[in-house]
Chains A and B, each alone.
Chain A
Amino acid sequence: MTEPSGAHAGPRPLLSLRNINMTFGGVKALKNVSFDVLPGEVHCLAGENGSGKSTLIKIITGVYRPEPGAVIDYDGQTYAQMSPVTAQNGGIQVIWQDLALFPEMTVAENIAFQTLLGRWPRFVNYGHMREIAIRALKKLGVTLDVDLPLKDFPIAQRQIVAIARALVGEAKIVFMDEPTASLTQSETDHLLEIVRTLSTSGVAVVFVSHRLAEVLEISSRLTVLRDGALVGVYPTEGLTQSRITELMTGRTFDQHVRAKTRDANPVVLEVKNLTRPGQFEDVSFTVRKGETLGITGLLGAGRTEIALSLFGMSKPQSGEIFLDGKPVRFSSNREAIEAGVAYLSEDRLSLGLIQPQSIADNLVIASLDGIRSGGLLSDERKQRLVAQWIADLGVKIGKQTDAISTLSGGNQQRIAIAKWLATDPKLLILDAPTVGVDVGARAGIFEIVAKLAESGLAIILISDEVPEVYFNADRVLHMAGGRISGAFDPRQCTLKDIEAAVYA
């Protein structure tokens, strides 16, 4: 492709990679990729799921070794491969999406333990720890009680703790993997402010994000990967969102409101005055056959809690649920599944899929009765069923027996959807179906959702990304503080109207 801009005149890159190749199980994850980061710049690494971003970061941090021929120049030294220790000592820090913190330990311990690890004297000095932590937080312009355990803090502040930890180790370059995925707008703004502070103090920040608005706002340069190959390196000035999407996917998207009137269809789900104190109050709504009901609102607004009650995993204190006009009261999610309710969890990593187990087993787990023959489970039927769903939903996999964790987020989510479709549901609840899924793959998932609705499935689409529900749902409910605080028809309002209500 294009010769990367590291060859331009200008400051010497802090980090420069050439000829990076990587193969996993016969699949080329990276093809001859080059990548440069300048000192103190904010750089964005963009690409769909499976494009090779994470693999590249793991090569830079020494988790993976690239194939021979690779050249890694960092801070004046040349390496054929990094090791985690060289990377860390050299000031390369990564904040992974899952943060990799210790929830039971205090903020101070979380921030300071890495630098103190292996130092003499080998005693824990809590006073010293606190000092280090407070100093690191101060650099970010944040004050937190460093003596409280981390689990007492919301995710946004945990993220800040992770950044503070990275800074203690004299970072020269910090990689942030999808750092805004679980933050609200104001929390995101705060994080971006911190990123700017870091950049001015000379730390390079490489930002891996799928929220394109942030990409434009914060970074000066953009490296785009697609299918493991470098598409190019671009200055962000003058780039539009649709142009970036195009670069990432190689296709053009036009987003339009999909909403239609479904009032003639029979009601599948009716919820009346549903209440579970502390989680949601007096919630009523209906979903019709073929209808997609969007529910949006900030984290903690009670969206997931309602979904869990509809799925039989928590009991509402009062109110009624009608499925196909009949009152239902589930005492477990097995009863809900039996009755035709399916729930795609917002937490794909720890609740939605069983990551170490195979693709095939994850797909059939909720519909084992469908692969029985003569009372016993049939391997042959399983393989056939899995092959059929994989073809239907266009999932890219190696072998059916590979662990599901080897798939990209988008493909994992397709398997998760297939798992529920295999139970033949009437109502499909999709809770944050695009978390950790990239733009192109998101569009693919919403195409599947639209097809499912067309085929008569009732769908509840829960998302804190307002554009998702605006463009993909027939009606949108806004939840705040456990109550429904507004209803919108995407055909009669703008995206801004809903966003104003949500972020008010």
Chain B
Amino acid sequence: MRSFLNRVSHWVGPDIAGPGAAFIAVMIVFSIGSPQFLTGATFGSVAFQLPELGLLTLAMLLPILTGGLNLAITFTANIAGLTVAWYLQKNGGVDAGPGAFLIGSLLAIGVGALSGLLMGLVIAYTKAHPILVSLSMMIFLRGLGEFLTRGGDVSGFPAFLQPIGHGSILGVPIPLLILIACVLLWHVLLTRTKLGFGTYMIGSNIEAARYSGINTRKVLVLVYMLSGAMCAIAGIIMLARFNSVRVGHGESYLLITVLACFLGGVNPFGGFGRVIPVFLALVVLQLLSSGLNLMGANQHLATAVWGILLIAVMLLRWASSHFKIFKRKKG
């Protein structure tokens, strides 16, 4: 029993305490504040809204762990969505078959990975700052997307795409299933592969990692490629949910993904952070916004509350580290 608990606590880890506490606090406050909060409807809406932000956060997580950032995530997702739309339209639009969608999706993931590849190469070889490189990529993709769509929506997709955005399997929304699969994939990638190991080491000290024989350039390039590919998956989900693609869609998620990473205990300077706490942090953010919605609060207010929550978390972290010193003095 004890070893089982140990294993659970090892898997859960101390870094889950912050988002865990926030999760419990949000649940308590809203169940008191609104009788409808603890109903299936709340969790249904959370489950459908979570995946877009969640997939984009996963895309942001890897670069942050290396001590970098990918500011191009939302526009990479848009461009990937456009790729699917283009391929579907080329193959009959509303009448396109599942095969066309599959090929289009693969192309989209390829396009996402390509944008990551370019950023990764520049960052790894020129040592330019990831913020500048990804900012340039973001501006490029936005301009390209707006040029291709002339600023409008692209729509008119086959009906079978509906379930990917809105359907459920055994009561679990399909987008959520995709997110959970991606979370698990990222978890395994980071904890069990050489690439994941290298990601953390590079985040702490890239030169020392290089002296230890880690192929730092390869790791950086792959990290940005995977980030781009994950953006593409987010873009495909967005396409299915809105039945349209518009460049600029999801733009407001960009900084939220960074904050979700920090709320999940990721070190802003790289080297430390795990997927599971980040996932929990996402759930907290989404519950908070759905709960406020339910209580009749304005959507914009929810965004403001996110900001306050994050500041509160930073303060709590600071307080808990001081408390530790206090305890040591006593003991």
Q: Does A368 contact B (CB under 8 A)?
A: yes
B211 touches A333 (CB 8 A): yes
B213 touches A366 (CB 8 A): yes
In the complex, what residues of B have CB within 8 A of residue A333's CB? 210-211, 213
Q: Does A231 contact B (CB under 8 A)?
A: no
Chain B interface main SS type? helix
Complex CA–CA separation, A379 to B205 (angstroms): 22
Among A376, A378, A419, contact of B212 (Cβ-Cβ < 8 Å): A419
Bits for A279-321, please: 1 = Cβ < 8 Å to B, else 0: 0000000000000000000000000000000000100000000
Q: Does B87 contact A (CB under 8 A)?
A: no
In the complex, what residues of A have CB within 8 A of residue B205's CB? 350, 354-356
B329 touches A356 (CB 8 A): no
B201 touches A361 (CB 8 A): yes
In the complex, what residues of A have CB within 8 A of residue B201's CB? 354, 357, 361, 365
In the complex, what residues of B have CB within 8 A of residue A68's CB? 329
Q: Does A252 contact B (CB under 8 A)?
A: no
Which residues of A, 312-365, contact B by the 8 Å Cβ criterion?
A: 313, 332-334, 337, 343, 345, 350-357, 361, 365
A351 touches B207 (CB 8 A): yes
Q: How far is the CB of A117 from chain B (nearest CB, A)?
A: 24
Complex CA–CA separation, A366 to B198 (angstroms): 10
Among A65, A337, A357, contact of B329 (Cβ-Cβ < 8 Å): A65
Q: Does A98 contact B (CB under 8 A)?
A: no
B194 touches A357 (CB 8 A): no
Among B192, B197, B215, B325, contact of A361 (Cβ-Cβ < 8 Å): B197
A351 touches B211 (CB 8 A): yes
Chain A residue with Cβ nearest B189? A376
Q: Does B271 contact A (CB under 8 A)?
A: yes
Q: Does B204 contact A (CB under 8 A)?
A: yes
Q: How far is the CB of B206 from chain A (nearest CB, A)?
A: 9
Which residues of B, 194-222, contact A by the 8 Å Cβ criterion?
A: 194, 196-197, 200-201, 204-205, 207-215
Among B191, B193, B204, contact of A357 (Cβ-Cβ < 8 Å): B204
Bits for A99-140, please: 1 = Cβ < 8 Å to B, else 0: 000000000000000000000000000000000000000000
In the complex, what residues of B have CB within 8 A of residue A337's CB? 213
Q: Does A241 contact B (CB under 8 A)?
A: no
Q: Does A377 contact B (CB under 8 A)?
A: yes
Complex CA–CA separation, A377 to B193 (angstroms): 6
A354 touches B209 (CB 8 A): yes
Q: Does A23 contact B (CB under 8 A)?
A: yes
Q: Does B328 contact A (CB under 8 A)?
A: yes
Q: Does A67 contact B (CB under 8 A)?
A: yes
- Report B's interface with A, CB cutoff 8 A: 188, 191-194, 196-197, 200-201, 204-205, 207-215, 271-272, 325, 328-329
Among B194, B213, B328, which residue has the most Cβ atoms of chain A within 10 A?
A: B213
In the complex, what residues of A have CB within 8 A of residue B197's CB? 361, 365, 368, 377
Q: How far is the CB of A332 from chain B (nearest CB, A)?
A: 8
21 contacts between A and B (CB under 8 A): A23-B328, A67-B329, A333-B213, A334-B213, A334-B215, A350-B208, A352-B208, A353-B208, A354-B209, A356-B204, A357-B200, A357-B201, A361-B197, A361-B200, A365-B212, A368-B197, A377-B192, A377-B194, A378-B192, A379-B191, A419-B212
> Given A365-B214, A366-B213, A376 and B192 touching (CB < 8 A)?
yes
Complex CA–CA separation, A152 to B199 (angstroms): 34
Q: How far is the CB of A55 from chain B (nearest CB, A)?
A: 14
Q: How far is the CB of B160 from chain A (nearest CB, A)?
A: 35
In the complex, what residues of A have CB within 8 A of residue B213's CB? 333-334, 337, 365-366, 423
Q: How far is the CB of B153 from chain A (nearest CB, A)?
A: 43
In the complex, what residues of A have CB within 8 A of residue B325's CB? 65
> Given A356-B271, A357-B201, A376-B192, A365 and B209 touching (CB < 8 A)?
yes
In the complex, what residues of B have CB within 8 A of residue A357's CB? 200-201, 204, 271
Q: How far is the CB of A200 from chain B (nearest CB, A)?
A: 41
